[in-house]
Structure 1
């Protein structure tokens, strides 16, 4: 990649620094992060590499091996680019750091990612966190990794238009090899849980059905959850939906008599939080069978109560769940397309890929793509 950097920007005496931020996959606990609930993600071994050095002209230069367009902007540039432009992610981080009072120097930045865009594996969070971490090192800012995750989240809100929770950025910043992260998104209490999967593999399957989260129903779900919380607070003292257990919901179900959609949304959140707790316990007890069952239940809830699945995701999940060597399968991430995550017997992975690909092709006329992922470390400088 260094040759690509020199081809893009030329060679000079300034050292080029290299950083890497992974993507992430969420094993269970979706659409619970922005409601203050629990999630269980891990960083993965695919991600974004960022090379940078000071620019000779004091300008901000952005380039990517994944996109043809290069940008050269004044270092004082603070305006958004057109919607869906990849440059909004680094610009968002740079703008927020400038707002905090840090003097941004002229820079040449080159990004290269191997996470499929729009697949739901946090390619955007990977770019954001890579940028935030790299600039924190260049500027010697006092930010912790968790503070950088928050900064990246704010940048996505302001520059990409997605009202995301903290899950993606936290996992990308805080990932640990061979571990997943049990995270309470309200308190930000977290702990690392070993992924002892023995003879099992985590297989991500991409629908290759493109989605645009900021233009989709994602923000609508956020608003529906805000409405549900307001309704629930008429009869309870909960401060976020993440505090709602299935038992509490039963006691206050009449709060949703006039809004059955809000009831469905809360029912998913309450049950999904419980599933995360049970799934972590199952994993720690080496009960991978139970872990897989909870994955299956999670997909049903996301499909029926949260309405964020798609025909393509359902086709993949149904095909995977029909195989006796698959312990569990579910959509992962925001939904509306993207990927599934399946727990597959390691010695049957190739058979899984062939079988599911054929079934999916017949159901949708689309070609699925498969990735065997490993839980990996979070953002870091590469020396």
Structure 2
């Protein structure tokens, strides 16, 4: 049974009626360009074939009733108060609803069922998939006519206001704008984007989930952002035209930030160099230069680990180990950090060999099972009923 069918069946069981709308919104991978989005830089994500599904229907009163199949939980509030629940999944949905209610009173009571197959805590942006699915389904249900960009921006705003993570736009943009077999080169300042066909001639993408998520992820994320903003402020004192790290050069960092604060300098230097790596990776993809692409991924990982300091022992172990395997062209940690997945570019047909070699080594070192995740590049958020 497909997840869309599971949604429909559960909706009938819980609410004794069919959903009026069913929406599918995918998670994402990001080939390179980490922690650049909230610094107005470049990113290179893609939507994947792991998604969040929402079924929704109007009610005849002002109540909102939510049901999660994955957690086997329900929660109820009313449109006027939109009181957040004790579980985070409810707050993403109600956070979106609150933002839309501030725009229009067209949003009324509704019933909603949610399920997904985006692995939680794996760096595949299940939260962005959930917020985008919510915005899209509410837009359809209440005829709000939200644009794709508005849906992505509402998802980002929800992360900021309802969850307290000051994320950039990448995850939500990829979830909404994804296109089959294409990466999205996104300029996070102008929001101009380009679809780049992904043709890894002779290679495939494999994600390896560490099955860890260290608790400092959210607070550290915000701290890194503050360091970047502080570096920009130091540069801006002399170069008033500077608005973000996108505008900053390494020479300016050496001149104005390095003498003042080593932490700000290190974090800002990473972002400037990560943007450069992404532009080189884009060219490597266009010319099918897998060797150069792979090296850039390795370089990005160790910069994320040693300079931006958002990796962890488990991620470093996986990347360090596969770097000795000739069938692996490149690998790095993916996502906000402190756990989640590595993304690996592996010769076609060799993924199982890599998994078999790594699994015992990983378990012996960390007493954790290594979870491989195969993904394909998919379309973005869309209605399926």
TM-score in terms of structure 1 length: 0.95
- Aligned partner of 2:232 among 229, 232, 254: 229
**Over residues 317-366 of structure 1, what are the superposed CA-to-partner deviations in whole Å (9 max), with x where a residue is unaligned?**
11221110000000011001111100011210110111122222122221
The alignment status of 1:127 with 2:133, answered yes or no, reads no
CA-CA distance at 1:213 after TM superposition: 6.5
CA-CA distance at 1:238 after TM superposition: 1.6
> What is the aligned-residue RMSD (CA, Å)?
1.5
- Runs of 5+ unmatched residues, structure 2: 1-5
Q: Is the 8 A contact 1:299 1:331 kept in 2?
A: yes
SS in 2 for 1:358: helix
CA-CA distance at 1:235 after TM superposition: 2.7
Matches within 5 A, 1:44-123: 44-82=48-86, 85-123=88-126
CA-CA distance at 1:136 after TM superposition: 1.1
Quote the residue 1:154 is aligned against: 157
Matches within 5 A, 1:193-212: 193-212=196-215
Q: Is the 8 A contact 1:63 1:110 kept in 2?
A: yes
SS in 1 for 2:270: helix
The alignment status of 1:4 with 2:10, answered yes or no, reads yes
Quote the residue 2:194 is aligned against: 191
- Write the distance in 2 (CA, Å) between the matches of 1:251 and 1:228: 10
Q: Is the 8 A contact 1:59 1:73 kept in 2?
A: yes
Q: Is the 8 A contact 2:253 2:265 kept in 1?
A: no
- Write the distance in 2 (CA, Å) between the matches of 1:6 and 1:321: 50
- Write the distance in 2 (CA, Å) between the matches of 1:311 and 1:266: 23
Distance change >3 Å, CA 370–CA 39, structure 1 → 2 = same
- Aligned partner of 1:307 among 296, 306, 309: 309
SS in 1 for 2:52: strand
- Write the distance in 1 (CA, Å) between the matches of 2:75 and 2:84: 13
Q: Is the 8 A contact 1:319 1:360 kept in 2?
A: no
SS in 1 for 2:190: coil
**Over residues 144-201 of structure 1, what are the superposed CA-to-partner deviations in whole Å (9 max), with x where a residue is unaligned?**
1011100110011110110000010000010001000000111111110000013211
Quote the residue 2:3 is aligned against: none
- Aligned partner of 2:338 among 315, 333, 336: 336
Distance change >3 Å, CA 277–CA 123, structure 1 → 2 = same
- Write the distance in 2 (CA, Å) between the matches of 1:128 and 1:198: 34
The alignment status of 1:27 with 2:48, answered yes or no, reads no
TM-score in terms of structure 2 length: 0.95
SS in 2 for 1:202: strand
Q: Is the 8 A contact 2:294 2:330 kept in 1?
A: yes
Work out the number of aligned pairs and report it: 377
- Runs of 5+ unmatched residues, structure 1: none
